[in-house]
Each structure stands twice: as C-alpha cells, then as structure tokens.
Amino acid sequence: MFRKILIANRGEIACRVIDTCRRMGVATVAVYSDADRDARHVALADEAVHLGGPAPKDSYLRGDAIIKAARDTGAEAIHPGYGFLSENPDFVDAVEAAGLVFIGPSAKAIRAMGLKDAAKALMEKAGVPVVPGYHGADQDPDHLAQQAEKIGYPVLIKAVAGGGGKGMRRVDDAKDFSDALASARSEAQNAFGNPDVLIEKYILQPRHIEVQVFGDGVRAVHLFERDCSLQRRHQKVIEEAPAPDMPAQVRKVMGAAAVRAAEAIGYKGAGTIEFIVDGADGLREDGFWFMEMNTRLQVEHPVTELITGVDLVEWQLRVASGEMLPAKQADLSITGHAFEARLYAEDVPAGFLPATGTLAHLQFPDHARIETGVRPGDTISPWYDPMIAKIVTYGPTRAIALRALETALFDTEVAGSVTNLEFLIALTRHEGFRRGEVDTGLIGRDLDDLIAGSEPDPRTLALGALGVAGLEDPDTRAGVTLWQPLRRTVTWEGGAAVIEAMGPGRADVTLDGTTHEVRQQGGRWWVDGSPRRSRVVRHAAGVSVFGGRSVTLKPLDPLDVAGEEAGDALTLSPMPGLVKAVFVEPGQQVAAGDRLAILEAMKMEHTLTAARDGVVAEVLAAAGDQVEAGAALIRLEEDDEAAA
Ligand code: ADP
Ligand code: ADP
Ligand code: MG
C-alpha cells in the first residue's frame, strides 16, 4: 500500500478521499488555489501545497504543478477525484512519465471512452447494446438528416465530445432538424473544440440507470446499479441504489453487459457504465442501451457503498497499488436501499441560478452520511461547483431510506446562501417518486408544484419574527423577562410583524393582518396549535428558522426601522441599548424629523426622530434607561385623541 498520496482535487471529493486514507494509514497531500487557502480539504490533509490563482486553469487543472507537488512531498500516487484532470489521458501519461501512479484507469482506456461515437462503436463490437442511431464519421448535414429520418423521430443530436448535457438537442420533427444540428454543432465547437455529432433514437419515458464497475486491468466485477433518473436539464439531482422495480434477471443482464464493456478496454479502477433505459413498460432485458462510460469515481458513488458495504476509494487505492480485485462477483450482494441528494447553493425561484455566499450557519444531522467540503463560516465562491454537501441515507427498504432522506433534509441547516433544500424536500414528497415511478422527465413535468413551496410560509415567518425580537429562547433569564405581557413591532428586510407576548412561552404574532398563536412547550415550537420541527437560530447573517420550510430574516438597520415606522404613533427602540437623552416632554408639539431621543447601541449613537407631526402623549423612557429592542420610548397623540 502507498505510504503517501496526493489528491488533485478540492471540495467534498477531496475530503472523501482523505477520510479513507486516514482509516488506511495513508498520508495525504492536498493542493489548493488562492480561493481555497482555508478550505476544509486543506485543513484535513497532512500536508498541503499551493498551486496558484482561483481559476481552475491556474490551479486544479495545472497538471505540471500538481505532479511537481507530488514529487516534492514524496507522494507515490495521485488520486484525481472527479472533474478537473480525472478524465484527461495526457495527464495520466505525464503522471506515469514522472514515475508516479495514477489512481484510475490507463490513458488508453480513457481515450477509448473519451468520444461518444468511438465508444459506441467499440461497445457494439464487445456485444453491449447501444442506443440505436448513427455514430459514423460522415458529418455531411444532408447525410445526417437522412440518418435521422431512418432512425425515426424523435431523435437526439449529441456532441461526440460532449459532457454535462452540452451540445445536445432533441428534435421531434424533420423540419427542425437542420437548425438543431447547426446549433448543436456550434455549441459543441465552443465547449469542446470539436463540432462532430452523433444521432440517437430519443427514448420516450427514459430512465437513467448506470452500473458501477471495478476492474484490475484484466478482470472486472460490477457493484450493481444506481438509478439517476431524477434530473433537471440532464443533471442529476437525487440518486438511489438499487433501481426501483429492477427485476433480478434484468439486473444480471445489465451487470454482465457492463462487465463486458469494462473488460473490453482492460479497465482498471472504479468506473461507471451509463445506460439509457426504456421505462415505458417496466424494465426489460432488451430495453437498455449503452450511453457512455465515466472513467472515474462518480459523484453518486456513496449510494453504492451503502448497499454493498464496499469502500470504493479503498478499492481504488488497493488496486492502484498492485493488489488483485478485492472481491469476486459472487462475493457481492445488495443489502437495503440508499439515496443521495445534492445540496447546492442555488436560487431555485430564479431558475436554479448558481449562488454564492458565506455560510453564516451550517449544521448537518448526525443520522445521515454527509459528504461536504465546507464548514460553518466557509464561503461558496463563484469559481467552482456550488455544491454544499451530499446527503446520503440508508434503510432496509426503499420507503424507509426515502423517509430517512426527507428527515435528514429537514434537519439540515444552512444560512448565508440560498439553497435548493426545500426543492429537495419537495422531491422526497413527490407521490410518483415515492412509488418509484421515476423517469428523466419527472422534474420538468412537475416543476411548478415542486417549487411552489419557495414562498416564505407565514407560520415559519411568525417564528422568525420572534427571533428578530430576541424572543427565540424563553429558557434564558432574559427570555423569561422578555416574554412578560408586552406588545411590540419588529421589522426585517421585506417584512414586519406585531408581537404580543401573552406570558411565558406564549405569544401572538400578527403578520399581514393574520394572527398566529406561537407557543414554546416541551422543547418544541407550536404554531396555531400544531407542533413544528422548526429551530430558530441567530447568526451573523440574521435570524433563521430551519426545519422543512426555512427562512432567513435580516433585521433592519435601526435607522431604517425609524423610517419604516413612519405614520406610526409609537417610536420604538430599534435595538437593545442605553437611552442617552430624551428631548421632549408630554404635551410638546413636534414636527416630522424632529429629534426625540438618542439611543446608544452597538457603540454608536442613534438619533430617533419623529415620524410625523404631532403632540407628544407619553414619554416612556428616561436618560440612563437600559431598553430592549422594540421597547416603546415615545408615543404621539392619535389624531382623535388630539381632537378630544
Ligand atoms: P455525469 O457527468 O454523468 O452527470 P456525475 O454526476 O459524476 O456524472 O458528474 C460529475 C461532474 O460534475 C464532473 O465531471 C464535473 O464536471 C462536475 N463537478 C462537480 N463537482 C466538481 C468538483 N468539485 N470539481 C470538479 N468538477 C466537479
Ligand atoms: P453527458 O455526457 O452530458 O452526461 P449523456 O449521453 O450521458 O451525456 O446523456 C445525459 C442525459 O441525457 C441522460 O442521463 C439522459 O437523461 C438524457 N439522454 C441521453 N441520451 C438519451 C436518449 N437517447 N434518449 C433520451 N434521453 C437521453
Ligand atoms: Mg452522462
């Protein structure tokens, strides 16, 4: 076994590889960019080497610098993770030329699978079913149009060099073919420097089912399948293993085809054979076709680990260091069911736009497997994939594992960036998904329902308002006092509420004219008579309510609050502080904007001014008083009071 390896990656996958190395007594060298100086993977590794600027081309794609770092630190092998250099055969050649071991397949195997057309031709020869279509060399548009006609519409145009869904066009009608072809070719040219395409039959109601394979360069075994049909724009969102409703016989035939594919190219290490499957009428032995091979560890490999009990990274290290395959096919079996959800920093209502931010609060449940590259206080930068974590659950049955995923998502707390957490929760509750009726169109079809929960829910907001008022914790000494009968207005960016404390642990919160009864009892929150799994947490970015429906409120700057109160008779203390001076007395006439009092808070003096013209009815605080946020300081007479 190696004594020390270098991990040429970042984020959760670098951390994941380090975990196994630690368990096996293998020392680790991390590499990092300027953006990742304080990253979790750097902190976890035994040593770390700086590569360069934050852009991948200046750091994680610099094969020469990475190889030099390995040699300088005495690492014997390089683990590429996924993405970056993991599928770059020239890098593999350079690693080997430097006398180091690449933990993965040979450059030759990667090249064989690098282009989709060549890979399909190779697989056809090896007796692996491929998607019906044209993957020949003739790229003449008229010829391609003829081929599409022959295949029969709908068809899918794919860039032969494609990946990540780029250069792909579905065409339903012959009249649209030439435009779609032109745009697929130009996208492929831009993204991959190669405009060539292939044409496939578009499978209606497709499922994406992939088989995990593992080879030692000669022989290969498979570790069963994963179903990755829950996709948005050809990108995986939730994965599971095994595939729902997979007949034993179809599993056997698909596994054997995947092993044939791996052995045909002398595959070494962990790889994935992706199949497109016709799910219209149950899974059939003649209803699956090879799409592509990913010659690396896959993002979703943990679900396979949970159902097989195999640590795939351990196997990668053992085989790369010269051991035989750690198990025979007959030794491998499936126990239970596993799910993985990809938690991303992304703005779902804005069309799943990647987001950034500093994670002011981050907490994961301890009853799920969490793969993450970030800690509380870390930043999701614009430079890399905005994944926050993979949340992976296991259960003896699919239904139990899916419930466990739902609960794990409920118990996940992220503040400081928007995330797709609620979208993931909505997916775990989708009726069809619960029944195991998955296909790659599911998310697209039901998108409106799946993101309907993105609007803040009033009961969650009511809890957030209590947090903004500092009343989230009635157990503290301050809390008990604060929950004495009292009425106050609280304001945050985009909203406000009136809170009426009805005694210890009970308050009425009025939002948009609706009053919600909030109770804290038996260590949990009750809103309008129902218990909620919510937690109210205060952090650097504001106040968050977590637990299914979550929301983060940013309390307003005190001076803005004074503005928000315009038209109100009450001047409230915008924050806890010390009253330094009061300039008015009852009966005094004031004009809008006149100084009423000075509050010292957070080492600054804040001048509170009259929101409108009027007559002072009451002065409720005096210089030297310590006041809480929301405390009434000065009340102006109401118009009718003045008239009386
Ligand atoms: P597929 O490409 O078939 O969807 P995966 O789900 O394993 O297979 O996707 C992994 C891809 O996501 C990588 O190839 C890479 O392009 C991208 N990716 C995600 N996270 C990272 C990361 N931390 N570093 C580099 N690339 C990443
Ligand atoms: P990439 O390299 O971008 O991962 P793939 O060939 O793996 O490209 O296809 C990505 C996704 O596109 C699949 O997971 C599937 O959802 C869809 N897809 C691919 N080929 C077909 C097909 N022939 N019919 C229907 N859907 C397809
Ligand atoms: Mg793919």
Confidence of residue 559 (pLDDT cuts 50, 70, 90): very low
Strand pairing class (235-241; 632-636): unpaired
Look at residue 640 in the predicted model and tell me its pLDDT: 61
pLDDT at position 477: 38
Helices within 45-88 (DSSP H only)? 63-73
More confident position, 550 or 180: 180
Q: Which residues are registered as beta bridge partners of 32?
A: 50
**One-letter identity of residue 35:** A
Tokens in use for 188?
């492929």
pLDDT value, residue 453: 63
Active site residue 296: yes
The pLDDT of 585-594, averaged and rounded, is 90
Q: What percent of the chain has pLDDT over 90?
A: 76
Q: Is the Cα dihedral 283, 286, 287, 291 positive or negative?
A: positive
Residue partners of 250: CB distance under 8 A and separation at least 6: 283, 284, 285, 288
Q: Are 602 and 575 in contact (CB under 8 A)?
A: yes
Whole-number Å distance, alpha carbon 39 to ligand 1 midpoint, is 19
pLDDT (0 to 100) of residue 49: 98
Q: Same CATH fold, 337-454 and 105-131+207-335? A: yes
Query: What is the DSSP code string of 330-344?
Result: GG----SEEEEEEEE
Q: Under CATH, to which class is 337-454 assigned? A: alpha beta
Between 3.40.50.10860, 3.30.1490.20, 3.20.20.150, 3.40.50.150, what CATH number should domain 133-201 receive? Answer: 3.30.1490.20
Among the listed residues 254, 256, 253, the one whose alpha carbon sits nearest the alpha carbon of residue 264: 256
Mean pLDDT of the region 493-501: 83
Query: In terms of pLDDT, which residue wins out, 269 or 636?
Result: 269
Residue 566: the pLDDT is: 41
pLDDT, residue 561, reads: 47
What does the mean pLDDT of the chain come to? Answer: 91
Task: Tell me what the mean pLDDT of segment 613-626 comes to.
Answer: 91
- In this predicted structure, the answer to whether residue 117 has a pLDDT above a threshold of 60 is yes
Rounded to the nearest angstrom, the distance between the alpha carbon of 415 and the centre of ligand 2 is: 34
Query: What does the alpha-carbon distance between residue 321 and residue 546 come to, in Å, rounded to a whole number?
Result: 45
Q: Which ligand is nearest to the CA of 289?
A: 2
The pLDDT > 70 percentage for the chain reads 94
Identify which of 291, 295, 298 to mutate to test ligand 2's pocket (most ligand atoms within 8 A of the CB).
291
Ligand nearest to the CA of 231: 2
Given the residues 62, 111, 232, 296, the one annotated as active site: 296
pLDDT recorded at residue 350: 86
User: Quick count: other Cβ atoms within 10 Å of Cβ 535?
Assistant: 18
Residue 231 CA, closest ligand 2 atom number:
16
The per-residue pLDDT for 112 is 95
Is residue 568 very low, low, confident or very high in pLDDT (cuts 50, 70, 90)? low
Is pLDDT at 476 greater than 60 in this prediction? no
What's the rounded Cα separation, in Å, for the pair 125 and 316?
Answer: 28
**CA-to-CA distance for 112 and 69, rounded, in angstroms?**
29
3-class DSSP state for residue 232? strand
Is CATH 3.30.420.40 correct for 4-103? no
Pick the CATH number of 570-643 from 2.40.50.100, 1.10.274.10, 3.40.50.300, 3.30.750.210: 2.40.50.100
- Indicate the domain borders of the chain: 4-103, 105-131+207-335, 133-201, 337-454, 458-553, 570-643
- Give the C-alpha separation, 142 to 13, whole Å: 45
Most confident range (mean pLDDT) of 249-263, 350-364, 506-520, 587-601 is: 249-263
* CA-closest residue to ligand 1 atom 23: 11
229-256 in b/e form (b: 16+ CB < 10 A) is: bbbbeeebbbbbbbbbbbeeebbebbbe
Q: Which residues are 543's β-sheet partners?
A: 538, 553
Question: What is the model's pLDDT at position 604?
Answer: 61
Distance between CA atoms of residues 216 and 24, nearest Å = 20
How many CB atoms neighbour CB 519 within 10 A?
Answer: 17
Nearest listed ligand to the Cα of residue 235: 1
Judged against a pLDDT cut of 50, whether residue 307 lies above it is answered with: yes
pLDDT, one tens digit per residue, over 40-83 is 999 999 999 999 999 999 999 999 999 999 999 999 999 999 99
Look at ligand 1, atom 25, and give the residue with the nearest C-alpha.
83
Model's pTM, two decimal places?
A: 0.83
| pLDDT in the model for residue 463 | 94
Task: Reply yes or no on whether the pLDDT at 481 is more than 60.
Answer: no
Q: How far is the CA of 129 from the centre of ligand 2 (A)?
A: 15
Number of helical H runs and strand E runs in the chain: 20, 40
313 pLDDT tier (thresholds 50, 70, 90): very high
Q: What is the pLDDT of residues 255-301, one digit of tens each?
A: 999 999 999 999 999 999 999 999 998 999 999 999 999 999 999 99
- CA nearest to 210, candidates 121, 271, 157: 271
For domain 105-131+207-335, give its CATH number from 1.50.10.20, 3.30.470.20, 3.10.20.600, 2.40.128.630: 3.30.470.20
Instruction: Inform me whether the pLDDT recorded for 432 exceeds 50.
Output: yes
Distance CA 313, CA 28 (A): 13
* Per-residue tokens: 245: 């409703």
**Token pair of 23 as six digits:** 């368990």
User: What torsion, rounded to 10 degrees, do the Cα atoms 498, 501, 506, 508 define?
Assistant: -30
Q: pLDDT tens, 514-530? A: 999 999 887 889 999 99
Residue of 9, 299, 342, 387 to test ligand 1 pocket, by largest number of atoms within 8 Å of CB? 299
d(CA 188, CA 159): 6
